Chain A
Amino acid sequence: MALKIVKGSIDRMFDKNLQDLVRGIRNHKEDEAKYISTCIDEIKQELKQDNIAVKANAVCKLTYLQMLGYDVSWAAFNIVEVMSSSKFTYKRIGYLAASQCFHESTDVIMLTTNQIRKDLSSPNQYDTGVALTGLSCFVTPDLARDLANDIMTLMSHTKPYIRKKAVLIMYKVFLKYPESLRPAFPRLKEKLEDPDPGVQSAAVNVICELARRNPKNYLSLAPLFFKLMTSSTNNWVLIKIIKLFGALTPLEPRLGKKLIEPLTNLIHSTSAMSLLYECVNTVIAVLISLSSGMPNHSASIQLCVQKLRILIEDSDQNLKYLGLLAMSKILKTHPKSVQSHKDLILQCLDDKDESIRLRALDLLYGMVSKKNLMEIVKKLMLHVDKAEGTTYRDELLTKIIDICSQSNYQYITNFEWYISILVELTRLEGTRHGHLIASQMLDVAIRVKAIRAFAVAQMATLLDNAHLLTGNTQRNGICEVLYAAAWICGEFSEHLENPMQTLEAMLRPKVATLPGHIQAVYVQNAAKLFATVLKGQEGDADGTAAQEATQLMIDRLPLFVQSANLEVQERASCILQLVKYIQKLQQKDVDVAEEVSALFAGELNPVAPKAQKKVPVPEGLDLDAWINEPPSESESEDEQPKAIFAKEETKHSRPRHTEVDEKELARRREARKQEQANNPFYIKASPSSQKVYQDAPGVEHIPVVQIDLNVPLKVPGLPMSDQYVKLEEERRQKARADKKKKEKKKRKEKRSGRGKKHDSGPESEEDIAPAHMVDIVTEEMPENALPSDDDERDPSDPHKALDIDLDKPLADSEKLPVRSHRAAEAQKSPTDGETENATLQEPKKKSSKEKREKKKDKDRDRKKSKEEKKKKKHKDEDKEEDLLGGQADEAVLQSEETSQVAAPPTSASTPAEEAAAAAEAAPEPSVTAPDSEPDEPKDTEMEETKSSKHKKKKQKKEKEDKKKKKKHHHHHHHGDGGGEESVQNGTVEEEEPLPPMSNYCLLAENSYIKMMKEDAEEVYDIQGNLQDGSQVVVSVIFENKCSSFLKSMEFNVLDSLNSKLQRPEGSGPHDGLVVPFQLPPGVSNEARFVFTVQSIVMPQKLKGTLTFIVKNEDGSTHEKLDFKLHFTCTSYLITTPCYSDAFAKLLESGDLKSSSIRLEGVNMPFHHLLARICFHHHFSVVERIDSCASMYSRSIQGHHVCLLVKTSGETVSIDAKCDEPTLLGNVLDEIKQTFSQC
């Protein structure tokens, strides 16, 4: 063993470090993968060694390999090991690796809770910092819950460095554990006014992130932010605040009004472009929120637009980009002010920078009108031709379609032009947007009835030239267009000039190369076409044409019947059989056309995409209600349905009063029309009634200009959209002339009071009447569709959970879970007796309990009473026994609680501040995990932090006086650390919840003060440590139980030969250690003391004294409290996981001495037993098979301890092996003791 260590440390020098690895990879350019795989093998070897330095080096290399794309999750456990090193150097490596590759489903994360907690409370600020940084990357809901309170405490750390990190990480905690938001919020708010600018900025940052998602909850902070905005000079903070205001103003227009002035001032005064830009952005947001009814802000709009123009004209591309970006925001509400800069924007379309062109495209969307649409699209089509990259070209394509189709094709006056644009777009090769074009074609053809004939003609041409589209087959995308083409040709085949030819085109063998879903449409629509052909030919004297068509179908369909695509196959074979049957009938000269076309009769109406969602739940239908009442419910509920029906009736039936005024009648008429229009079963007189309404007065009364015959009905080859531009021009001129004539008539009508408001477009647009009757069939919605257009947020959005009212006072149940003592504080010293009254203690206990339990109200009551009982019982010295017994009892009661107990059994947290935040101000005792970094200088650092923290508190507290006595009390401690490890190798299943276990014990107590000791926690004994002994850290919680102020506490221990308290340099061996804080009444705090231990094979006892000054109004008195510290042997064991193969090797090695014990009458489930050993004695389960388990632990000095635990009935036998028999004997004795107590 020792040899191995020595060898290891020499080897280490020649180990490959990160630099060597990188160098190696660079030298193996040809066989990099092979080289890296050998490196990974080396790393695996290194990870097997005990030397932490070697491990850290290996983990460091893994982090690099992870960046290169290698999965390193297999080393997750080693990363945890390195994280738990006490050396900052290694710890940092470990946390970095963890932050790079841990994520929520990394299972070892649950092992880190205690380590992180320990690091968070480390006296070394960089340990804390590193832990916070790491945690921010891999925090999970469990970690967030368990550590929320610790982090919250750190928000008030004395070091700004820690404060700012703690404040920032709270955001991550909130996301993962939304319950923590309310308790933590007051402190977060406090940090907005932190003296340190970094902390302040962090707090602003966090609140801005929160407010961005749920702005309404943060409105109450507006005055505070307003103050910050006017006082802060930090641009980062200003930008964040201004962005935040941008999010808040839509909710509170009054805020907007107040903001305008300071923001405009900033715009004028600042030299920082970023700030200027954000100000402009927020002013825009304000103006948007004010846009209704605030006319006198045009000056601000002008200012913004003007500033943005300056940005856009700047030579710096970044500013140009941002200017356009902001411009697009103005566009939504003040399109006119943007439209005046059309020149500039069109100019940007020609910019060489793609990002800028894209932004300009966005703006175009708002710039089109009926007048200029064709012109703009023409320009865009030119760009499409020029564009090299497919991404930009695709973007152009979607933009063209967006621009044209916006608000129900509002700006399109000539749909023939649009169809030809779409057809032109199909010539783009390799676009991803084939389906987009296809859906536009379908949409237009279905909804604009007048265009169908034209569309069908175009589609027939497309189908005829399908080979052009599918030429290079795997260019996919665009062939989607054929889907639309085939469907349109089939569905509206009555408009086809030459259906036979199209039918032939659709049944070409080449079709079989198209994707399955398109083939299916082809087959189906071929059948429709076939019906049309039949119908067309029926009248003819000789039925040869019809028979030809039938023959064609019969010839070509078998190709599709063989298709691998089920849909195609099924349709084809159905239709083939049908056609064969028709052929039979034809041969008998039976007229079949009618019947065949009846197969495809009827028209499909477009359905709105949200229609399904908008179907209202019928009144009286409660989807959550029981269909059959559960038997226990009372009968009275049966009556309910009746009531519902009655209600429904009143609502649905038309009002019955006979006198209805004119208005009401008109309203109803309108409503009925609307309803009819929406009803697919209602046969419409004019199917387009709705659009006509929208489309302004003109349309209803002016005869619609019909399609001019100068538009060729059949376009040979593919059409050119350009010709339509010219045609449209001519048409418009003609229309204008027409219009002038009708002007008079129209005016008359207008005067007669029928004039309606026009749509919002510029007035000149009225002049352009659409070329077609733009009878856009509106999409169908279900009857009684819900009116709201609520686009619900994605339910998986983590921010949804953070929509929490922050102004409500905190309820008890909301406090953060705090690691608190179990029954320990329930006990009272027997020698004490007199002064303490039970009532004083009761609430304390309750509060701490409540925190832990949170939701489990039910249990709480039960537990409380239990606790009370217990308290009465425990009036004597042998608390521990009762304590454990009590816990065992409780276990049964609290089975639901186990998730919490099992996960963070050794969790710790810092104390009293919590009380301040909590509404219930009862002080609660709690403990912080011991620290693993016991160096003296750091300790003093901690002292400083603590004491100043408490000074603040002191001022708040009143002082009272009281006289007391002291007493002391000694205690055993229980093990800690293990609970979770029991699950660690995955062998302990969740059979039954584990009982709660505690690792605190009362050290001593008198009427002034109570000392709680958390179990001695060992420092990893690292090779190369300068001391040859081991260090043990003991956490002691001091709780002020009296109403006076306690100060000048000094902790002293009589050193034994074996164990020594570590004292600061320069102090004598008998000097006490100053406890680094003072205690106001009712407050508890925790300090850590480091002991150096030589031999660990025997348990140790140390006598000690705590002296302190009780200060009250009458003056101060010196008091003291004696105690005994007990180090058990198990407290020298560290929970060390061990894999079964290593375990087997260890057992085989033969240098272990064995021993065994037998426990009788152990009446608990096996996994409880294991958990107990894990928890109290720091073992981990290596392997478990039925009622037999192997366990492993290691002492701080490297002794291996192996256990084989078997159970049969109530007998448990433990065979143990260890390389140090004395240690083993003691450990076994302690295990025995643990179980004799249950």
Chain B
Amino acid sequence: MIKAILIFNNHGKPRLSKFYEHYNEDTEQQIIRETFHLVSKRDENVCNFLEGGLLIGGSDYKLIYRHYATLYFVFCVDSSESELGILDLIQVFVETLDKCFENVCELDLIFHVDKVHHILAEMVMGGMVLETNMNEIIMQVDAQNKMEKSEAGIAGAPARAVSAVKNMNLPEMPKNINIGDISIKVPNLPSFK
């Protein structure tokens, strides 16, 4: 079982948090902070496994993470999951994000956390791995997005236009892009190494 999935950036700002067990908001924030603390102080070329922190831990749990550009992807799993399998799953997740957002970068995750959640929901459900085949995941995500678009229909058009205008008018927008525009480079890892 997967107990939690966290994405945060190099400064510990949460970009996505998904807990498959209930914690109150304060504890969640503490867990994110603690996990960030544990993960961030590790060198680049050490192993991707970490005994869980105090909050989320217990001896049965492990943190399995990967670091891409500015983001950490952390999965907290118990012993029923294969460690290497989860690493691979993270890779699939990031590759899927890359396909869905077309060269995903941190900004995509910042502004579209809901979409990231929807993608994740096609991979992991209630803490269990649902699908590992990227094509299948993308197909389902696309189908749902299509449905959403068709529902918005003509009515959605003005709203989209307005939001486009809003984005255009705001001077800080390009600035922001510069800040976080290091797109996540997805290294090509052999599946199931």
Residue of B83, B112, B128 with most chain A CB atoms under a 10 A cut-off: B128
Q: Are B166 and A20 in contact (CB under 8 A)?
A: yes
Confirm or deny: B117 has a beta carbon within 8 angstroms of a beta carbon on chain A: yes
Q: Is the CB of A273 within 8 A of B80?
A: no
Give me the 4 closest cross-chain CB pairs, A-B, nearest first: A136-B126, A274-B84, A317-B47, A103-B22
A164 touches B131 (CB 8 A): yes
Question: Please, what's the 1-or-0 string for B12-34, where 1 marks a CB less than 8 Å from any CB in chain A?
Answer: 00101110101011101100000
Minimum CB–CB distance for B112 against chain A, Å: 8
Residue of B nearest to A132 (CB): B125
Known A89-B151, A317-B46; 4 more pairs at CB < 8 Å: A26-B172, A69-B29, A317-B47, A354-B42
Establish whether residues A321 and B158, one from each chain, have CB atoms under 8 Å apart when the complex forms: no
Residues in B neighbouring A103, C-beta threshold 8 A: 22
Q: B55 on the interface (CB 8 Å rule)?
A: no
Question: Are A236 and B172 touching (Cβ within 8 A)?
Answer: no
Query: Which one of A202-210, A289-297, A892-900 is at the interface?
Result: A202-210
Q: How large is the interface on B (under 10, 10 to 19, 20 to 34, 35 or more residues)?
A: 35 or more
Q: Which of A248-279 contact B (CB under 8 A)?
A: 272-275, 277-278
Knowing A89-B151, A169-B126, A320-B47, say if A209 contacts B80 (CB, 8 Å).
yes
Asked whether A235 is an interface residue with its Cβ less than 8 Å from the other chain, the reply is yes
Set of chain A residues within 8 Å of B25, measured between Cβ atoms: 66, 69-71
Q: How distant is the Cα of A372 from the Cα of B34 in the complex, in angstroms?
A: 38
Contacts of A356 in B (CB 8 A): 46-47
Task: Say how far A690's CB is from chain B's closest CB, in angstroms.
Answer: 32
B40 CB-CB contact with A under 8 Å: no
| A236:B46 contact, CB within 8 angstroms | no
* Nearest A-chain residue to B161, judged by Cβ: A13
Q: Kindly identify which residue among B128, B133, B144, B167 contacts A168, using a CB–CB cutoff of 8 Å.
A: B128
Q: Is the interface of A mostly helix, strand, loop or mixed?
A: helix
Can you show 13 pairs from A to B with CB atoms below 8 A apart? A23-B111, A23-B176, A26-B176, A96-B114, A96-B117, A139-B126, A171-B128, A209-B80, A236-B129, A274-B82, A317-B46, A354-B42, A355-B47
Q: Could you say which residues of chain B place their CB within 8 Å of the CB of A355?
A: 46-47, 49-51
Alpha-carbon gap, A169 to B148, bound state (A): 25
The listed residue with most B CB atoms (<10 A of its CB), out of A23, A172, A198, A358, is A23
* Interchain CB contact (< 8 A) of A322 among B83, B117, B129: B83
Q: Is the CB of A64 within 8 A of B193?
A: no
Task: Give the B-binding residues of A (Cβ under 8 A).
Answer: 12-14, 17-20, 22-23, 26-27, 60, 63-64, 66-71, 87-89, 92-93, 96, 100, 103-104, 124, 126, 129-130, 132-133, 136-137, 139, 161, 164-165, 168-169, 171-172, 198, 201-202, 205-206, 208-209, 212, 235-236, 239-240, 243, 272-275, 277-278, 316-318, 320-322, 352-356, 358, 389, 1024
B residues 25-82 in Cβ contact with A at 8 Å: 25-26, 28-29, 41-43, 45-51, 80, 82
Chain B residues with CB under 8 Å of chain A are 1, 14, 16-18, 20, 22, 24-26, 28-29, 41-43, 45-51, 80, 82-85, 87-88, 110-114, 117-118, 121, 125-133, 136, 140, 143-144, 147-148, 151-152, 155, 158-159, 162-163, 166-167, 170, 172-173, 176, 191-193
Question: Is there an interface contact between A352 and B85, defined as CB atoms closer than 8 Å?
Answer: no
Contacts of B166 in A (CB 8 A): 20
Given the complex of chains A and B, what is the CA–CA distance between A14 and B163 in angstroms? 8
Contact check, B193 vs A273: say whether CB atoms are below 8 A apart.
yes
Chain A residues near B87: list those with CB within 8 A. Answer: 318
Contact check: which of A27, A92, A171 meets B172 at CB < 8 Å? A27
Contact A168/B130 with A133-B121, A317-B46, A355-B49 known, Cβ cut-off 8 Å: yes
CB contacts (< 8 Å) of A358 on chain B: these are: 51
A165 contacts B130, C-beta separation under 8 Å: yes
Set of chain A residues within 8 Å of B85, measured between Cβ atoms: 235-236, 239, 274
Decide: A161 near B140, CB < 8 A? Known: A13-B158, A92-B118, A236-B85.
Answer: yes
B144 pairs with A92, CB closer than 8 A = yes
B136, A198: Cβ atoms under 8 Å? yes
Which of A14, A60, A317, A389 is the one whose CB lies under 8 Å from B114? A60
Q: Which residues of B contact A96 (CB under 8 A)?
A: 114, 117-118, 121
Q: Closest residue of chain A to B176, judged by CB?
A: A26
Using known A-B contacts A18-B114, A67-B14, A165-B125, determine if residue A1024 contacts B155 with beta carbons closer than 8 Å: yes
Pairwise interchain contact B163-A17, C-beta atoms closer than 8 A: yes
Query: Are B151 and A12 in contact, with the CB atoms below 8 A?
Result: no
- Using Cβ atoms and an 8 Å threshold, which residues of chain A touch B159? 12-13
> Measured between C-beta atoms, what is the minimum distance from A472 to chain B in Å?
23
Measured in the bound complex, the distance between the Cα atoms of B84 and A239 in whole Å is: 10
A320 to B48, CA, bound (A): 11
Q: How far, in angstroms, from A89 to B47 measured CA to CA in the complex?
A: 40
A352 close to B126 (CB less than 8 A): no
Chain B residue nearest to A17 (CB atoms) is B163
Residues of A within 8 A of B192 (CB): 235, 272-275
**In whole angstroms, what is the CA distance A281 to B3 when docked?**
23
Contacts of B29 in A (CB 8 A): 69
Given A67-B17, A205-B129, A322-B83: A274 in contact with B1 (beta carbons within 8 A): no
A322-B84 CB under 8 A given contacts A92-B118, A198-B133, A273-B193: yes
Which residues on the A side are within 8 Å of B167 (C-beta)?
19
Q: Which B residue's beta carbon lies closest to that of A68?
A: B14
Chain B contacts of A322 at CB under 8 A?
49, 83-84
Cβ of A443 to closest chain B Cβ, rounded Å: 23
**How distant is the Cα of A716 from the Cα of B113 in the complex, in angstroms?**
65
Residues of A within 8 A of B193 (CB): 272-274, 316
Considering the chains assembled together, what is the distance between the CA atoms of A274 and B190 in angstroms? 12
Q: Which of B18, B126, B148 has the most C-beta atoms of chain A within 10 angstroms of its own C-beta?
A: B126
What residues on A are CB-neighbors of B51 within 8 Å?
Answer: 355, 358
Known contacts: A87-B151, A205-B129, A353-B46. The answer to whether A243 contacts B172 by CB under 8 A is: no
* Cβ-closest chain A residue relative to B144: A126
Given contacts A88-B147, A273-B192, A318-B87, contact A278 B82 (CB under 8 A): yes
Which single residue of chain A is at the shortest CB-CB distance from B63? A355
From known contacts A22-B110, A355-B46, infer whether A104 and B22 are also in contact, taking CB-CB under 8 Å: yes
Cβ contact within 8 Å between A67 and B113 = yes
Q: Which residues on A sit within 8 Å (CB–CB) of B132?
A: 201, 236
Q: How far is the CB of A977 from chain B (nearest CB, A)?
A: 25
Nearest to A133 among chain B residues (CB) is B121
In the bound complex, how far is the Cα of B51 from the Cα of A778, in angstroms?
34
- Tell me the complex Cα distance, A273–B25, Å: 38
A59 to chain B, nearest CB (A): 10
- Distance between Cα atoms of A236 and B1 in the complex (Å): 14
A139 — which chain B residues lie within 8 A by C-beta?
126
* B111–A18 CB distance below 8 A: yes
Minimum CB–CB distance from A692 to chain B (whole Å) comes to 36
In the bound complex, do residue A206 and residue B128 qualify as a contact, i.e. CB atoms below 8 Å apart? yes
Distance from B54 Cβ to chain A, minimum over Cβ atoms (Å): 10
